[in-house]
Structure 1
């Protein structure tokens, strides 16, 4: 490339030839690797600025958004959000004009299908608690008085279900990092399908035998459910990132929304389960939801309710086997190839515990606290229903109130998906607020339980019940699911997520055991402090990854994996993205944006040289003068230069440097 007084215009990236592009003279002198025939132009400087400092992360002066003063930060973030909102609405409107039903299809492809497994498990798992009152009413000698059934086995239903989930979370998380995400997804759906068949067909020569068969069927089903957590989180997140070297706006601006939108299908599973149970009971109980309930009506209701998701799970096996592409494993495969790992990356797991021990404490600890609260929310429901209808033997009021509660929870899920990527609020603040509000809504009635459970004040109690459900979803329940995958490297992401989720389920087990022995007043005294503990864990040990490029985290991990932690100077160690504990330990001291920019250029040069050498070897082997270049990095640079031909003097660069709108239909579902 000859040095000229004007910006050089390229028709194609291959004009660089086999030699790598040289970095801009960031210090005012010559390029880092000086070449007498090559000089940097203004065009090249803009190329590197476009690739390394995208305008949704850096202002016009190249300053990272988290480095801006607070008022400028608010102005910059608000501007980016407005632009992205307009872009998405424009894409949505264009989609709607072309086909009014297209937005519905988009939502199903990108939100419903990725979360279908969690929707099905939410349907079944929460069905267990909903069906239990029906069993107690229809089979009182077995399920209520325990005269003909072993009380230990009746109670074991809850314990074995949770134990199965814990086994699945740890086991499938390990398999997902060892064999791959796609295999884990197929395996989960298969286990859940077999488990549902077992639940539908569960029987015994005695009622106690039926209870035992039912309990072990739940254990087996729970293994598949547990695997859904790490597999849905990791595959959904990595599909948002893409597979190339150049990060995408979709990852940076909407990664959290994609994952939470898949996770909230769990709420829809609960909703549809409750609706279907109400309808089935009315059908099989002769149009009445009132007691007494016949054994036949109870059997048909619960068996048909499990047969319905079995059909959906069978379809999920087909979809994941034949429709989910092998590219679902691409991020993991690239990470293993880079580190020359063929099986499970044991070294990355060791380094994760060494360098990210505080993060493990944060993701696992907050999930534990959240699950205690998740089960604690049931306290409100039983208490205020007992006050409203103290003599009622019907299960229908509890089901109807639960339906309302699930609807309120869904509002929390959706609001979380809308705000989880907002840089001015984001994950960490959302989780702290959710824990704090749950603490308040439990401690208030705990101090005055008799007052709030009286008929005169039951409405206030009911309001706190619904608000505690809302803030749990609009906070810890969504954030724990997201953060447990997001703050770890790709090589052990599923393992770390599965471990965190398993510790969380120990919280559910704590609640299940504790509630069997504590009085109502004791429960209201004990449970709130788990929320306060969640706030403390979150504030001290949880990093805030809102607005952080996920691939930049992988770049930092590459330095750690190579034993060069102190040589990394990028935004992944910006104080904004580190926990209080990590900042106190000095993890962010090497942060230096100017040095990092030079470093990234040199890394880009090295990557270019490797690719050129590989392609030259391929060309020599195939004796072919024409070979395709479909690498994301090449296509980004090529498209940039093609656009540059329309503006040789780089005028209007503000608009040109923004990549074409990916469109709402560009996202990939898992």
Structure 2
């Protein structure tokens, strides 16, 4: 017979039945979420999945929700007072469609294509690293990018941050928590990680809105206090991505392993 396209001999089948019989008589672990055993086995994993999701969403939602403000700041979209409502809608939609077609959507397809060969850990690590690199590359020479004729380069690098977000942590942060925790705690741990991500989205949405305001009160949007500007806001987001890169080392690699192996369900309790 064949299992996963691999020939199984009678001797191997007999050994497999023996293993299954032994494992079926092994009592499943019974530790809870707030037990010392969970902390020993998965405590750092939960810190890793929750913190990386939070940091990703701070950076990702900040950029995603305020593309209009960023493109206006670099002069790629005309100032709002110079456009009609339809003109503004057209320019914003065109910019966001270009980012989606050139960065966001291809990034997801690359993840689908390579996640089982490259692995979740490496993809997430690479994604955070490249996001950090491109954000620093946008922020440090920010005056250059805002100069006449350089906006296209800014948009390309900006699109690449979305590409590596989706070919990176924006995909893996919700895949890994569904694979590494025990079955009875999997939904809870995934929910904790996801909730951390939504906290990050809230921080990113509101924080960037205020931080990205011009430090010059004359250029600040009506109703807002002066902020640190787009340049330094991008550096803050780069710092979040760098922290996500470092905290990824707390997350194990589930590639090629069964759910039972990753969650260590077959190990007896030690408490």
TM-score (norm 1): 0.32
Secondary structure of the structure 2 residue equivalent to 1:487: coil
Cα separation, 2, equivalents of 1:545 and 1:482: 10
What's the counterpart of residue 505 of structure 1? Answer: 198
Give the CA deviation at 1:460. Answer: 0.6
In the alignment, structure 1 residue 358 sits paired with structure 2 residue 66: no
Aligned residues: 232
Q: Determine if the alignment matches structure 1 residue 451 to structure 2 residue 148.
A: no
Contact 1:349/1:492 (CA < 8 Å) preserved in 2? no
Alignment of structure 1 residues 157-306 onto 2, 5 Å: none
Could you report, residue by residue, the CA deviation over 1:255-313 in whole angstroms, capped at 9, with x for unpaired residues?
xxxxxxxxxxxxxxxxxxxxxxxxxxxxxxxxxxxxxxxxxxxxxxxxxxxxxxxxxxx
Using the TM superposition, give the Cα deviation of residue 50 of structure 1 relative to its aligned residue in structure 2, in angstroms: 6.8
Kept in 2: contact 1:371–1:504 (CA 8 A):
yes
Task: List aligned pairs for 1:380-391, cutoff 5 A.
Answer: 380-385=67-72, 387-388=75-76, 389-390=78-79, 391=82
| Mapping of residues 61-72 of structure 1, within 5 Å | none
Does the CA-based 8 Å contact 1:441-1:468 persist in structure 2? yes
Q: Kindly indicate whether residue 200 of structure 2 is the aligned counterpart of residue 528 of structure 1.
A: no
Q: In the alignment, which residue of structure 2 is the partner of 1:411?
A: 106
The answer to whether the aligner puts 1:428 opposite 2:121 as a matched pair is yes
- Higher-Rg member (1/2): 1
Counterpart residue number, 1:550: 259
Distance 1:368 1:44, change over 3 A: same
Partner of 1:370: 56
Question: Using a 3 Å threshold, how does the CA distance of structure 1 residues 380 and 438 change in structure 2: closer, same or farther?
Answer: farther
Quote the offset at 1:470 in angstroms.
0.8
Specify the alignment match of 1:249 in structure 2. none
Over residues 102-142 of structure 1, what are the superposed CA-to-partner deviations in whole Å (9 max), with x where a residue is unaligned? xxxxxxxxxxxxxxxxxxxxxxxxxxxxxxxxxxxxxxxxx
- How do residues 23-42 of structure 1 correspond to structure 2 at under 5 angstroms? none
Instruction: Tell me: CA distance 1:380–1:443, structure 2 relative to 1, closer, same or farther (3 Å).
Output: farther
Gaps of 5+ in 2: 1-8, 212-228
Could you tell me whether the CA contact under 8 Å between 2:67 and 2:96 is conserved in 1? no
Aligned to 2:116, the other structure's residue is in SS state coil
TM-fit CA distance, 1:52: 9.4
**Cα RMSD over matched residues?**
2.7
Deviation of 1:339 (Å):
5.5
| 1:375-416 Cα shifts (integer Å, max 9, x gaps) | 232355532345122333422211222123223311111110
TM-score (norm 2): 0.76
1:215 matched to which residue of 2?
none
1:51–1:476 Cα change, 3 Å: farther
Whether the 8 Å contact between 1:434 and 1:471 is mirrored in structure 2 is: yes
**Structure 2 Cα separation of the partners of residues 477 and 558 of structure 1:** 31
Contact 1:383 1:453 in 2 (8 A): no
For structure 1, list consecutive stretches of 5 or more residues without a partner in the other structure: 1-42, 54-244, 247-333, 565-670
2:62 touches 2:201 (CA, 8 Å); kept in 1? Answer: no
- How big is the shift at 1:418? 1.5
CA 49–399 in structure 1, closer or farther in 2 if over 3 Å, else same: farther
Q: 1 or 2 for the larger relative contact order (CA 8 Å, sep ≥6)?
A: 2
